[in-house]
A and B are shown apart, each in its own frame.
Chain A
Amino acid sequence: MSGKRVIIFGGDPAGVATALEQAEAGMQVTLIESLPGLGGERIPQTRIISGENDFVDPNLEAVMRHPNIRVIDSAEVQRTEANNGNFRLKIKRRTPRVDREKCDDCKACIKVCPINMYDDFNEGVGFRTAIDFFNPKTGQYNIFKEDMPICQATCPANLDIRSYVGLIADGKYAESLAKIRERLPFALSIGRVCPHPCESACNRGYMDEPISICTLKRFVADWEMKEGIKAPVEVPDEFHKEKVAIIGAGPAGLTCGYFLAKAGYKSVCFEALPEPGGMFRYGIPEYRLPTPTLMREIDWICSHGIELRCNTRVGKDISFEDIQKQFDAVFLGVGAHKGMKLQIKGEDMEGVIDGVDFLRDANMGNPINAKGKVIIIGGGNVAMDAARVSWREGFDEVHVLYRRTKKEMPASPWEIEAAEHEGIKFQYLVAPIEVVGENGRMTGLKCLRMQLGEPDASGRRRPVPIEGSEFVVEAETLIPAIGQRPDLAFVPENSGLDITRWNTFAVNRANYMTNVPGIFSAGDVETGPDIAIRACAGGRKAAEGIVRYIEAKRGK
């Protein structure tokens, strides 16, 4: 074949016209367009129109007929290489899922498709279905199936939000809940406490405000509870003989057990504290997640085939080695419960209690000496919880001190706002330097004022002390809430488990297995302190990894 090879990018009128010109001149033309079809009329933007040539409308028929032109639409350039003035390209063409040879343009498919979304090809004017023909003149149909919508892709557990929200819109609440439970057993709890990263990504946010995804999830779960409907328990008729040990009855451990049971494996869950739930039970306060609600959910989850052994601390009441011997696989979901120290003088005085310990006491109903003024240190959600719990416990004054400004505070904005509403006082740009007191009991906190300097590694501006700005705040109680770490004291020296410098377990994210075969881990002890839905997501993926592991071992 004679003629040089020309590749043209862009199926707009200019690209199409050039393709025709080049082809007429004898070139071998490939026209590449990223949209599923060519063309579309355009209004000129280089001249004032005058009658006949109002729209530039590419001559698609001529393009389609021309023997020297090949069109690749729905295309994506994967690789380009240039050498000696030649180009080599690798192009991917997304499948249209409609055979254009067979399709007779009857539109029957469009009439039944339940999807109704903004017509992106028409700049959001009107709607279209999931079957589109962006240029009706070409009648080229195309079904665009992406892995998941942005909300689902953003959700750590990849919940099928679009489906469960759509089912609510249809009034099909039970179906909606079933959809959620395909990937998450904790609808009641997560529906109350999730900081919903999905909502920040929601496309509706570009139009006005994002969908209230989290509260909708809560709505269907509440609906089942309020209507007194017994949540369905669906497990295989027979369980396999292998058993799995789960250490820690938090969101990660219980989710793991739930999905193991669904796959036909029973588990035994060892929990150090008197009741299951982990931070759901002993961290997050009652007013955000009431215990009866949580327990309803946990009872239901365990009824799938998890045997709970509470008040059993691994490393104390039973050894890790014994568990390893007795079970076919072990899941470690012990969370991150050890509060970080402020590293200042006087920190061990009476009156100082770590945020996580304080919240656990409150959640257990232990007596709290809530008199006078309390200072909470930190700007995260744990600090907000500690402040709001202190206020409920009856302290006269609740102060939160934070080293940076409100803008840098990592707590969720709605939590900060709720705390402000409840009358909690915030002092920004203040850092503690010493707990002061008498006879081992604290009476106040010495602080420094700060100002913001250069941004640090996290991109936030680093607070730097203002010299000579020392002052003392009088207070009876101090609650540092500046972060937690996992407590891995239960792991024997010779376990061989890889432990990172953040005191977490390192796993292979493909199956959540640690470096020791048969031992899996997820949740806060794997990620470091994080949010519950990520712990649940990890628990589910670990369950899948455990099932594959056991099956491979059995096959041998």
Chain B
Amino acid sequence: MTYERKGRYIVEFQDIPKARQHHIEIPVEERRNNYNEVELGFDEERALQEAKRCLSCRRCLGCALCWAECKTEAINFDMKDEYFDLEADTIIISAGVERPIERVNPLFGLGKNNNIITDLQLERMLSASGPSAGLVIRPHDGEIPASIAFVQSYASASPQMHRAALFLGINEAILVRRKLPGAEISLFGQDLAPFLEEQKEALKGLDRIEIREAVVSALTPAENQSLQVTVESNGTQETRTFDLVVLLTQPQISQDVKNLSKKLGLTMSYANFLAQDVTGLISTEKETLKLTAVQ
């Protein structure tokens, strides 16, 4: 990993989440019949704590340190944007995957506990070229998790989207199993029967992965930043502890593609791209516009 330097503008991973610092205030009793200043701001310790929370968003400051360092003189701040005028006989659109976290039910606490991640984040972790070089770790402490729960984070979705979400989740579970042979792996979701029936053959060889029709009604912090998962199924309730929780999210067509198709006069949904068992090109209402199926 290249992100090992510490110093200016650095947020330590353990520092997220970390609560905002509050200013110092004089008590209400000391305010009557006078105009003493009520808010006293930060002391140095609070100021430093708070300033370190800043993510220093959005790219380059223009400090030119990189420029000074680059031996091949490849860095050129004056490089201009380029414009292209293109003509085409056919346009083909590929969906791209977007799984907006705004759609995740806030009750699941994404962003409040480091060890709750999304399926997309796990996908990046599983990738050999990803941030952890293919290692599955708990973001909080970098430990290898001994138990992992996949949890459906949305209440309902169109059947195609639900299906795509389950494919991704189960495939990830399979990949995690290969990397962590000893780990306990469970997947909790709703409305699984049609999917399990359809994929019966493909799922045959599943290696100790529990797939269970259940609703997760609570995720509460447990010792060591692990999570207590409250599972309800068939009218019974059960609480189990997992080291890492992966939320299954709803795939959605990306905003870019939506905007583009609007400009081109197409009506589109993610289901277009997931058109059952199609490979190759999908026709649209416009002859010279096509979609490529998601792979």
Interface residues of A (CB under 8 A from B): 4-15, 17-18, 21-22, 27, 30, 34, 40-50, 54-56, 72, 77-78, 80, 82, 85-104, 106-119, 122-131, 135-137, 141, 143-146, 148-151, 161-163, 165-166, 168-171, 191-192, 203-204, 206-212, 215-216, 218-220, 222-223, 285-288, 290, 293, 391-394, 418, 421-423
Contact = CB atoms under 8 A, between A and B. Distances in A.
B90 A15 contact: no
B37 A287 contact: yes
A421 B28 contact: yes
Contact of A30 (B28, B88, B203): B88
Interface in B104-139: 111-112, 117-118, 120-121, 123-132, 139
Interface string B85-97: 1111111111111
Given A106-B71, A113-B65, A115-B56, A12 B96 contact: yes
B154 to A, nearest CB: 15
Contacts of B37: 286-288, 290, 293
Given A97-B75, A122-B130, A130-B59, A112 B112 contact: no
A95 B203 contact: no
B202 A47 contact: yes
B87 A86 contact: yes
A140 to B, nearest CB: 11
A92 B295 contact: no
Given A87-B87, A109-B70, A162-B57, A18 B94 contact: yes
B164 A45 contact: yes
A222 B48 contact: no
Nearest to A55: B127
B16 to A, nearest CB: 6
A82 B9 CA distance: 47
A130 B48 contact: no
B52 interface: yes
B111 A123 contact: no
A362 B9 CA distance: 44
B293 interface: yes
Nearest to B84: A91
Contacts of A103: 70, 72, 74
Contacts, number: 409
A212 B171 contact: no
Contacts of B281: 18
A423 B90 CA distance: 69
Central interface residue in B53, B85, B263, by most chain A CB within 10 Å: B53
Contact of A285 (B35, B41, B274): B35
A108 B62 CA distance: 16
A9 B171 CA distance: 27
Given A108-B69, A113-B66, A56 B295 contact: yes
A391 B32 contact: yes
Nearest to A108: B69
B74 A13 contact: no
Interface stretch (B19-27, B212-220, B221-229): B19-27
Contacts of A92: 81-84
Central interface residue in A72, A108, A122, A421, by most chain B CB within 10 Å: A122
A22 B290 CA distance: 12
B193 interface: no
Given A150-B58, A207-B17, A45 B96 contact: no
A203 B281 CA distance: 38
A47 B203 CA distance: 10
26 contacts: A6-B90, A7-B86, A9-B91, A10-B96, A11-B94, A46-B277, A48-B171, A82-B265, A89-B84, A95-B82, A98-B75, A101-B74, A117-B58, A122-B130, A125-B124, A125-B131, A127-B3, A129-B3, A143-B75, A146-B59, A166-B54, A169-B9, A211-B54, A215-B21, A215-B47, A393-B33
A122 B112 CA distance: 19
A91 B131 contact: no
Given A18-B94, A42-B97, A96-B79, A115 B72 contact: no
B127 A45 contact: no
B47 A168 contact: yes
A4 B95 CA distance: 22
